[in-house]
Amino acid sequence: MRHRSPLFALACGLLLVTAFASAGVEIAKTNGEARHVKAEKYEADIAADGALSSLKVKGQEMLKPGVGVSRGAYCFQHGVVALNKIEQPNDTTVVARADGKPSVTYEFAADAITLSVANTTATDLQFVLVLDPVAGVVLNDRGDMVKMPVKQDWADTAWFAGDKKLRVTGANKIWGPYVENTGVIEADLKAGETRKIVVQISDATPAEAARAADVQQGKTAEPDLAIDSPRPWQVVQRRTKSSGIVRVSGHMKPNAEAVEVRLTGKSVEGDLPDKWQPVTLDATTKAFNAEIPTPAGGWYKIEVQAKAGGNVVAQGQVENVGVGEVFVIAGQSNSTNYGEKRQEPQSGLASTFDGINWRPAADPQPGAHDNSTGGSPWPAFADAMAARYHVPIGIACTGHGGTSVNAWQPGGDLFRHTLGRVGELGYLGFRAVLWHQGESDTAGMSTDEYAAKLANVILASKRQAGWEFPWFVAQVSYHTPKEASFNNIRDAQKRLWDQGLALQGPDTDTLTGDNRDGNGAGIHLSEKGLRAHGKLWDEKVAAWLDKVLAAER
C-alpha cells in the first residue's frame, strides 16, 4: 500500500453489528467461527480473522478484500490485525477480539451495520473499509458529489453503485486510489479510543442515481440554482443579543424575473415566520444577493427559489444555519488538538470552521495550522456556551503546537494563517480571539519581552484586519507537576489585561493532577482536563459577554 498503508487498517477492531431477529436478520456459522449474515437489505460475512470481508447489496459486492493487504473492512496497526476470537453474545451481535489487541463489535440491523471499534492498545490504529471500484462515486454531507479517486477529510459520505447506496458515518477521511483503483474510508483511533462507524444500506433515489451516473461519466451536473452563502452548519455572528445578518447569495442557470428566500426554524424567541422575502437579482450575471436580518438562534433551513412568469424555474436550499457566537482560537498545543481523547459536543449547537467549510464541532478541530489530530477543549466550551445562551456556537481553530510567541509575530506564517481566518469570517464576523500560549516561552524570556511581543501580535492583527476585535489571553505556563507555573510569563499575560490590551482569560495552570495526560505527568490535558479547560473558558468569556449583550439590547 505504499506509504499510505495505514488505510488498510479495517481488520483491527471490534465490530459491533446490531440487528434484531424481528427485523429480519439471521446470523449463521460458516467455516469454523466465521459468520454469514443475511438481512433485509444486504448479506455480509465476518471472516475467521474478525474482518468484515464481504458486504453484498442486491447481489453486488461493495467491499474489496484480497487486493494488497485488504481484508475488506478491518483494523490496521503496523499491519492487518487478526481478531480471531469470534463471539456472538446475542442473535444480532458479533464481537471480534484477540488478547492484547483491539476489538470490534458488529451490530446488525435490517438496513444498517454499526461497528464499534475499541482501540484498547497503547498505539494508534486505523480502521479502514476498502470499497470495490463499482462504488466509485461519493457524496459528502454538503452535497458535493465526485468521482473517485479523491483524498478528502470527509467523515460523512454516501457511496453509489447504480441504484445501490452506502452511507458511512464516523470516519475521518477518504482516499484513493489504493490497489486496483479501490477507494478507502479511514477512521483514525488514538490509543484508548472507541469509535462508532455506521454503514447504512439503502436504495439511491432516481435523482441520486442519475446524478451519480453523470459524475461517473465525467459530466458536471451543476444545479440550476447554487447557493454560495451561507454554507451548511455555518454560524453567523449575531450583531445584537436578539439578531444578526445572514447573507444569502448564489447564482443560477435559467433566466428569471425574481428570486425569493425563506428562512424556517426555531429562534430563541420562537418559530421564524414562514414567508418568502425578495432577493436582489442581477439579470445579466444571474447572480443573487441579499442581507437578511435574522433572529438569533437556529438551526435554520434557508430556501431560495427563482421565478419567471409566475412559475418556479429553479430552487435550492441550505440546512443547519445558525445565528449565534463565533470565536477564533490561536496559540500553541493546548489551543489545538493535543488532548488525550477526542471530544464530541453534546448540545447539537456546536459547529467548527476550517476556512472554507463548516461542520459539527467534533474533534479534531479542522483548520489548525499544525493539522493535529487529538482532543481539544472546544467542544466542551461550545456546549457550555450553548447551554448558557441557547444559540449555536462557532469555533475557528488556527493554532500550532510547540510554538513560541516569536513564531506568531506579524509577517510570519502563523500570523498570516490566523489573519486569514479573521478575513474569511469578515468584518464583525466573530466575537473574539481566544489566545492560549506561553508554555514554550517560560525559559529565557523576560516579562517585558513576552508582554511586548504578544502586544505586537494583538495590535497588528486589528490594524491589518481593519477593525477592533477583542483578544482574550489565558494565563498559562504549566510544564510538569513540579513546574506548574512560571511568573515571568504569568506576569506578562496579566500585564496585558491590566493595560487593557487583552481581556482576562482562564488560569489554566490550575489544571493539575489528573487533569493532565499521562496519568498527570504530561503537559497536555486528559479527557477530564479538556472538559475543565472548556468550562474555564466559558466562565471567563461569559462574564464579559453578559455585559456586552446587556448593552446590545
Separation of CA 102 from chain center: 24
Which helix (H) or strand (E) segment holds residue 223: the answer is: none
**Cα separation, 472 vs 548, whole angstroms:** 14
33 in a structural domain: yes
Longest C-alpha distance within the chain, in Å? 76
Residue with the bigger pLDDT between 234 and 216: it is 234
Clarify whether residues 189 and 243 are in a common domain: no
Please answer whether residues 314 and 287 qualify as being in contact, where contact means their C-beta atoms are separated by less than 8 angstroms. Answer: no
267 in a structural domain: yes
475 in a structural domain: yes
Cell of 406: 516569536
**Cα separation, 210 vs 221, whole angstroms:** 10
95 in a structural domain: yes
> Tens digit of pLDDT for each residue in 484-500?
999 999 999 999 999 99
Cis peptide before 230 (omega within 30 of 0): yes
Clarify whether residues 448 and 346 are in a common domain: yes
DSSP state string for 287-339: EEEEEEEEESEEEEEEEEEEEETTEEEEEEEEEEEEEEEEEEEEESGGGTT-B
The answer, as to whether pTM is greater than 0.85, is: no
Residue with the bigger pLDDT between 550 and 21: it is 550
Of 55, 46, 159, which is closest to residue 112 (Cα–Cα)?
A: 55
Cell of 524: 497536555
**Cα separation, 57 vs 39, whole angstroms:** 10
Rounded to 5°, angle at Cα 395 from 406 and 140: 120
Task: Specify the pLDDT at position 23.
Answer: 53
Clarify whether residues 372 and 499 are in a common domain: yes
**Cα separation, 191 vs 184, whole angstroms:** 22
- Is residue 450 over pLDDT 70? yes
Clarify whether residues 298 and 349 are in a common domain: no
Clarify whether residues 415 and 274 are in a common domain: no
Clarify whether residues 183 and 267 are in a common domain: no
Residue 372's CB is within 10 A of a number of other CB atoms, namely 21
Please answer whether residues 544 and 469 qualify as being in contact, where contact means their C-beta atoms are separated by less than 8 angstroms. Answer: no
Q: Which of the listed residues 212, 242, 263 is the one where a domain comes to its end? A: 212
**What mean pLDDT do residues 112-134 have?**
95
Clarify whether residues 191 and 144 are in a common domain: yes
Clarify whether residues 318 and 336 are in a common domain: no
Task: Specify the pLDDT at position 221.
Answer: 56
Residue 520, classified by CB atoms within 10 Å of its CB into exposed (0-12), middle (13-18) or buried (19+), is middle
Of 200, 206, 56, 203, which is closest to residue 141 (Cα–Cα)?
A: 200
Of 23, 11, 187, 24, which is closest to residue 86 (Cα–Cα)?
A: 11
Task: Specify the pLDDT at position 468.
Answer: 96
Q: Which of the listed residues 286, 301, 322 is the one where a domain comes to its end? A: 322
Please answer whether residues 52 and 66 qualify as being in contact, where contact means their C-beta atoms are separated by less than 8 angstroms. Answer: no
Task: Specify the pLDDT at position 1.
Answer: 35
Output DSSP code: residue 245: E
**Cα separation, 119 vs 80, whole angstroms:** 14
Output DSSP code: residue 170: S
**What mean pLDDT do residues 279-298 have?**
94
**Cα separation, 340 vs 342, whole angstroms:** 7
Number of structural domains in the chain: 3
Q: Which of the listed residues 212, 238, 255 is the one where a domain comes to its end? A: 212
Burial 526-536 (b: 16+ CB within 10 A, else e): bbebbbbbbbb
Task: Specify the pLDDT at position 4.
Answer: 36
Lowest-confidence range among 90-94, 143-147, 386-390, 508-512?
Answer: 143-147
- Is residue 539 over pLDDT 90? yes
218 in a structural domain: no
Percent of the chain with pLDDT over 70: 95
Is residue 329 very low, low, confident or very high in pLDDT (cuts 50, 70, 90)? very high
Rounded to 5°, angle at Cα 117 from 116 and 123: 160
217 in a structural domain: no
Cell of 230: 451561507
Clarify whether residues 263 and 191 are in a common domain: no
Which helix (H) or strand (E) segment holds residue 448: the answer is: helix 447-465
- Is residue 53 over pLDDT 90? yes
**What mean pLDDT do residues 268-291 have?**
92
Instruction: Supply the CATH number for residue 438's domain.
Output: 3.40.50.1110
Please answer whether residues 83 and 154 qualify as being in contact, where contact means their C-beta atoms are separated by less than 8 angstroms. Answer: no
Burial 175-185 (b: 16+ CB within 10 A, else e): bbebbeebbbb
Residue 440's CB is within 10 A of a number of other CB atoms, namely 18
Range of the domain at 173: 2-212
Task: Specify the pLDDT at position 20.
Answer: 33
> Tens digit of pLDDT for each residue in 331-368?
999 999 999 999 999 999 999 999 888 999 999 999 99
Clarify whether residues 254 and 377 are in a common domain: no
220 in a structural domain: no
| Whole-number average pLDDT of the chain | 91
Judging by DSSP bridges, how do beta strands 145-147 and 125-131 pair with one another?
Answer: unpaired
Instruction: Supply the CATH number for residue 258's domain.
Output: 2.60.40.10
Which helix (H) or strand (E) segment holds residue 200: the answer is: strand 194-203
**Cα separation, 164 vs 43, whole angstroms:** 13
Output DSSP code: residue 381: H
Please answer whether residues 322 and 300 qualify as being in contact, where contact means their C-beta atoms are separated by less than 8 angstroms. Answer: yes
Clarify whether residues 374 and 493 are in a common domain: yes
Clarify whether residues 451 and 503 are in a common domain: yes
> Tens digit of pLDDT for each residue in 417-448?
999 999 999 999 999 999 999 999 999 899 99
Cell of 352: 467548527
Residue 420 dihedral angles phi and psi, to the nearest 5°: -65, -40
412 in a structural domain: yes
Cis peptide before 544 (omega within 30 of 0): no
Question: In 3-state terms, what secondary structure has residue 452?
Answer: helix
Which helix (H) or strand (E) segment holds residue 449: the answer is: helix 447-465
**What mean pLDDT do residues 117-130 have?**
94
